[in-house]
Amino acid sequence: MNLTIDREVLLENLNTISRGLPTKSPMPILTGIKLYVTENDLFMTSSNSDISVEVTINDASLEIKEPGQTVVPGKFIDIIRKINSRKVNLYLAEDKILVIKADRGEYKLYVMDPLEYPKMDFVALENPLKLNADVLKNMIKSTVFATSSSEKKPILTGVNFTNVNNTLTVVATDSFRLSQKVISIEPYNDFNITIPNKSLDELLKAIDQFAGDVNLYFQSNKLLAQFKNVCFQTRLLDGNYPDTSKLISSNFAINLTFNKDELIEAVERVSLLSPRDSAKDKEITYSIVKLELKKDRSVEISTTNSQIGDAKEELLPTGIDADGPIAVGFSSRYLLDALKSFISTEVTLGLQAETRPFIVRGENDSNLTQLILPVRMN
């Protein structure tokens, strides 16, 4: 194996490969990157328990002097990142050492046996679902934060994607809040899959700079996203995702519209004083604030902390369709996460009653709904 390539091209592809590279693994060979060089192409592969990534490089700068294959340690990425030469030469010495030559530098890395690297199948069946990368990024970003971080109900650590009659509904919930985005897609078979949140975080990073179409290929227990020269494959979560379709009401006693940034800033300030509960299973009681519509149609965001003191901010809603008073208490983090998922300047809170879930929508975020379960206030 012996090749020369532009460092920038190699680095960009290694950054993509790093999305699937574990730092530790029960199979040590998986902490390495497989390089497979044919007459014309350089293939690089990484894999962890959730994700496998493969890139195919046949860039104009790639000069292959000798095909071959090997598995190099993850350190390879650090070296290519730090080098500042325009070109790098990579060759295998006695099948034991990868030599990296760059200007006046020479780096030697002990390699692993490529025959030990498990065979990865990136099966691109026919008929992919094509989704624009920006649409896909938006769907993931507006929902993934609401997945559960606890493994108690593993299915809730994923985001559910359900297609029924070409309407794709994307849902995430940790059972204290729920995020839902609905879009129309091109005609495509119905499906119902749940993708691990970590896989989606990595996919987001992998497609961050990409603006074209992503091809999605569905299999029984995995999903392959193919774009540019990249195959990104993730396992799917087993089990049935709970039916959340009836949780989101469409009737609200009161709809309150706010300037989003004003609401975010007021909640952030007030939550400085809200009592903290760092107990893991008590996330719901974390940083509680209260939102209250008063009789005079002003809104007060407030908190009381027996240790430190209390805080309140008064806000004037830009829209209001019924009279109060009504109040809800909630985790400020949940409302802040929800608000930050909107691009709209104005957001509307739909309230039912003190003990009923409330929702947030934005005029310019069509079919995005954030639902938050209130907490009991003293």
Where along the sequence are the contacts to a second copy (CB under 8 A)? 73, 75, 78-79, 82-84, 97-98, 104-110, 265-266, 268-270, 272-273, 307-315
User: Which CB sits closer to a second copy, 53 or 79?
Assistant: 79
Burial of 279 (0-12, 13-18, 19+ CB in 10 A): exposed
With respect to a second copy, which residue has the nearer C-beta, 109 or 253?
109
Q: Using CA of residue 81, residue 83, residue 84, residue 85, what is the dihedral sign?
A: negative
Cβ distance to a second copy smaller for residue 190 or 310: 310
Nearer to a second copy, 185 or 272 (CB): 272
Q: Which amino acid is at 329?
A: G
Least distance CB 105 / a second copy (angstroms): 4
Cα distances (Å, whole numbers) of residue 37 to 4, 260, 308: 12, 52, 64
- Nearest C-alpha neighbor of 205 from the set 51, 90, 355: 51
The radius of gyration of the chain's CA atoms, rounded to the nearest angstrom, is 25
Shortest distance (Å) from residue 219 CB to a second copy: 37
Phi-psi region of 32 (alpha: psi -120 to 50; beta: other; left: phi over 0): beta
Bridge partners of 52, per DSSP, are 47, 233
283 backbone dihedrals φ, ψ, rounded to 5°? -50, -35
Pairwise CA distance, residues 167 & 185, whole Å: 6
Q: C-beta of 294: minimal distance to a second copy in Å? A: 13
Classify strands 191-196 and 346-351 as parallel, antiparallel or unpaired. Answer: unpaired
Nearer to a second copy, 144 or 270 (CB): 270
Handedness of CA 191, 222, 142, 176 (dihedral sign): positive
Closest to a second copy by CB, 222 or 290: 290
Comparing C-alpha atoms, which of 201, 204, 192, 191 is closest to residue 157? 201
CB of residue 15 vs a second copy: minimum separation in angstroms?
17
Smallest separation, CB 308 to a second copy (Å): 6
> At its nearest, how many Å lie between a second copy and the CB of residue 102?
9
Cβ closer to a second copy: 163 or 303?
303
Least distance CB 272 / a second copy (angstroms): 5
Nearer to a second copy by C-beta: 105 or 239? 105
As measured in angstroms, the least distance from the Cβ of 79 to a second copy is 6
- Which one, 27 or 272, has the nearer CB to a second copy? 272
The least distance separating a second copy from the CB of residue 329, rounded to whole angstroms, comes to 19
CA 341 – CA 144 distance, rounded (Å)? 10
Q: Which two tokens stand for residue 37?
A: 């060089």
Do the Cβ atoms of 351 and 256 come closer than 8 Å? yes
| Ramachandran bin of 95, using left for φ above 0, alpha for ψ from -120 to 50, beta for the remaining angles | left
